[in-house]
Amino acid sequence: MVGITSVYKALPLLAASALAGVNYPAIPEDLTTPFQQRLAVYGPNAVSLGWNTYEKLNQSCVVYGTSASSLSSRSCSSASSTYDTSRTWSNAVVLNGLTPATTYYYKIVSGNSTMGHFMSPRTPGDKTSFSMDVVIDLGVYGRDGFTVDSKKKDTIPVVEPELNHSTIGRLAQTVNDYEIVIHPGDFGYSDDWYLKFSNILQGKEAYQAILEQFYEQLAPIAGRKLYMASPGNHEADCSEIPYLLELCPEGQKNFTDFMHRYEKTMPTPFASSSSNKSAQALAAKARSSANPPFWYSFEYGMAHIVMIDTETDFPDAPDGTDGSAKLNSGPFGKSGQQLEFLKADLASVDRSVTPWVIVAGHRPWYTTGTGNGCDSCQAAFENIFYKYGVDLGVFGHVHNSQRFAPVVNGTADVNGMENPKAPMYIIAGGAGNIEGLSSVGSKPDYTEFAYADDYSYASITFVDEKNLKVDFIRSSTGDILDSSTLYKEHGTQFIVQ
Ligand SMILES: *[C@@H]1O[C@H](CO)[C@@H](O)[C@H](O)[C@H]1NC(C)=O
Ligand SMILES: *[C@@H]1O[C@H](CO)[C@@H](O)[C@H](O)[C@H]1NC(C)=O
Ligand SMILES: *[C@@H]1O[C@H](CO)[C@@H](O)[C@H](O)[C@H]1NC(C)=O
Ligand SMILES: *[C@@H]1O[C@H](CO)[C@@H](O)[C@H](O)[C@H]1NC(C)=O
Ligand SMILES: *[C@@H]1O[C@H](CO)[C@@H](O)[C@H](O)[C@H]1NC(C)=O
Ligand SMILES: *[C@@H]1O[C@H](CO)[C@@H](O)[C@H](O)[C@H]1NC(C)=O
């Protein structure tokens, strides 16, 4: 979300403001020093690790093992990529052959790296209870006001030693309470730099500096927990201000940083673990039409999780080349590819293996307030969600927390939370960023919870095959603001309704 009108109003004043200094992070002496570590589920027995360096690596390697004193496995790749305006290279390695749900220690091979650890993914069909946190619309933090004072944009934030972005801080403090994180869009908000006119001359550098700082701030979480990314409008280009689009430099258009950062670390859908041949064929089709990091799926224990792209690649997609957001991006696949992927992927899910199906994207269609919903997203996706029995739709973009009763075509399911046929929907867009919170506004009658008083995020607990708990957590205090449980019978192995 962004308030374009406030920028136009501010223009005359801004011209008089002093030029801000670009405050890039220091380049380390050892250019192989890893920064911005990010882990992800990559397969049933595989985890990817991405990181950035201030020089191109000819070979990127990671050593790992189940004991901190014996990192006996080694994975390497020669992937090291950059783009026009970036000072860093993105590196990526896949750690294969992992024993499920086991602690692994890892060290990026460098003259200057430290050891980290993570828990490998649960096997699809493992019915152990676990929690998954949801953060969307996160943003950088720092003493210069990003996140903390949503009005101040005079200097680029500096990373403070204290981890006190309230949401990142809470994720750090509760690190043993959840196993994975999903983040469907809007990461660093580096494009918001251009919202202040006097910043324009240094916009190109500032954009990169903010990205470097944001992903370094996130590394204590993303380098510790499996952290799944998909795109939001703030990843699209240098600015959301339409008149600036033409001025965006190469490297700051068309999701470039997002692609470099995540294209080699987000997974393709897993091969089906169902014994049903038709499900196996559908899963194979989903694999060939997925396009990570834009649209893809993965499985983790009881959950089949699909990440969709609400920005490009469906009719009237808001960030598409003729889209309403005027962000002139994509397409990233062939015409119809994303929807073809989604149908095949959902149809392939064997509920006896993964009873829970969650689909997450950036822009919602069910939301409080007026003018916040994405109608073209609803037109493209809602019927598919319903037909294949999606249990929960997870969105952000609107900067607050919301929960809706199971609903389809704007009508609440008569069964409510007791075995509904329609999906339940949440918005978890209140994680905190420089734009601040959005007021709740008018509430549709299927609204169950709406909160915009402080930064917050969601935590989803897969309790068992029939119960899913959704909590909203106030980032600054850890208080549970709202808790609900969705009951689903999940008696049908392949849902088509
Ligand atoms: C080693 O890495 C740390 C960050 O992890 C960095 O602050 C330091 O400058 C690096 N040292 C050298 C010699 O590059
Ligand atoms: C990478 O390879 C190039 C060309 O072979 C060489 O000049 C460069 O020093 C190497 N870089 C590193 C970090 O080893
Ligand atoms: C961040 O944490 C430090 C130390 O805990 C504190 O001094 C500072 O005020 C905090 N900043 C904000 C904005 O909460
Ligand atoms: C096999 O899976 C398909 C969906 O891919 C489903 O329609 C069909 O009923 C399943 N067959 C059996 C025997 O479960
Ligand atoms: C954006 O990137 C994709 C993939 O590289 C490309 O196919 C598409 O044409 C680009 N879109 C624009 C508007 O440049
Ligand atoms: C929702 O509306 C669409 C389009 O009008 C229709 O095709 C679909 O059957 C409706 N779904 C349900 C469950 O009512």
For the sheet containing 447-451, what is the strand order?
Answer: 296-300, 303-307, 356-360, 392-395, 424-428, 401-404, 447-451
pLDDT band at residue 266 under the 50/70/90 scheme:
very high
Q: Examine the pLDDT at 148 and tell me if it is beyond 60.
A: no
Is the CB of 495 inside a 6 Å radius of any atom of ligand 4? no
CA-to-CA distance for 490 and 465, rounded, in angstroms?
8
pLDDT at residue 277 in the model: 97
Q: Examine the pLDDT at 400 and tell me if it is beyond 60.
A: yes
What pLDDT digit, counting tens, does each position of 110-134 carry? 999 999 999 999 999 999 999 999 9
Q: Examine the pLDDT at 243 and tell me if it is beyond 50.
A: yes
Select from 494, 495, 496, 497 the residue to mutate for testing ligand 4; criterion: most ligand atoms less than 8 Å from CB: 494
Nearest by Cα to 231 from 200, 255, 264: 255
Residues 155-175 have a mean pLDDT of 72
Which of helix, strand or coil describes residue 116? strand
Alpha carbon distance, N-terminus to C-terminus of the chain: 34
**Contact between 158 and 142 (Cβ < 8 Å):** yes
Ligand 6 binding pocket, CB closer than 6 Å: 383, 386, 408-409
CA-to-CA distance for 101 and 121, rounded, in angstroms?
5
Which of helix, strand or coil describes residue 200? helix
DSSP sequence for 386-403: HHTT--EEEE-SSSSEEE
Average pLDDT, the chain: 90
Residues 479-488 have a mean pLDDT of 98
Select from 152, 162, 163 the residue to mutate for testing ligand 3; criterion: most ligand atoms less than 8 Å from CB: 162
The closest residue, in CA terms, to atom 2 on ligand 5 is 330
Is the CB of 476 inside a 6 Å radius of any atom of ligand 3? no
Residues 353-362 have a mean pLDDT of 98
DSSP sequence for 418-469: BS-SSPEEEEE--S--TT-PPP--S--TTEEEEE-SS-EEEEEEE-SSSEEE
For the sheet containing 46-53, what is the strand order?
Answer: 80-81, 89-95, 46-53, 35-43, 226-230, 180-184, 130-134, 456-462, 467-474, 480-487
The closest residue, in CA terms, to atom 13 on ligand 5 is 329
Kindly identify the ligand whose nearest atom is closest to the C-alpha of 331. 5
Is the CB of 347 inside a 6 Å radius of any atom of ligand 4? yes
The rounded Å distance from CA 160 to ligand 3 centre is 9
What pLDDT digit, counting tens, does each position of 200-236 carry? 677 788 889 889 989 998 999 999 999 999 999 999 9
Q: Examine the pLDDT at 434 and tell me if it is beyond 90.
A: no
CATH number of the domain at 4-487, please?
A: 3.60.21.10
H or E element, residue 258: helix 256-262
Q: Examine the pLDDT at 290 and tell me if it is beyond 90.
A: yes
Other CB atoms within 10 Å distance of the CB of residue 147: 25
pLDDT at residue 245 in the model: 64
The closest residue, in CA terms, to atom 13 on ligand 3 is 148
What pLDDT digit, counting tens, does each position of 52-77 carry? 999 999 999 999 999 999 999 999 99
The closest residue, in CA terms, to atom 4 on ligand 3 is 162
pLDDT at residue 157 in the model: 52
More confident residue, 6 or 103: 103
Residue for token digits 């309470």? 177
- Return the ∠ at Cα 171 (arms to 231 and 443), rounded to 5°: 60
> Which atom of ligand 6 is found nearest the CA of 386?
13
Domain positions in the chain are 4-487
CA-to-CA distance for 415 and 486, rounded, in angstroms?
11
pLDDT band at residue 351 under the 50/70/90 scheme:
very high
What pLDDT digit, counting tens, does each position of 76-85 carry? 999 999 999 9
More confident residue, 158 or 452: 452
Number of helices and strands in the chain (H, E):
7, 23
Token pair for 367 = 């939301």
Say if pTM beats, i.e. exceeds, 0.75: yes
Ligand 5 binding pocket, CB closer than 6 Å: 254, 321, 328-330, 332
The rounded Å distance from CA 256 to ligand 5 centre is 9
Kindly identify the ligand whose nearest atom is closest to the C-alpha of 144. 3
pLDDT at residue 206 in the model: 82
Is the CB of 484 inside a 6 Å radius of any atom of ligand 4? no
Residues 166-185 have a mean pLDDT of 95
Q: Is 404 exposed, middle or buried (0-12, 13-18, 19+ CB in 10 A)?
A: buried
pLDDT band at residue 142 under the 50/70/90 scheme:
low
Token pair for 92 = 């990526």
The rounded Å distance from CA 87 to ligand 6 centre is 49
Is the CB of 17 inside a 6 Å radius of any atom of ligand 1? no
The rounded Å distance from CA 387 to ligand 6 centre is 10
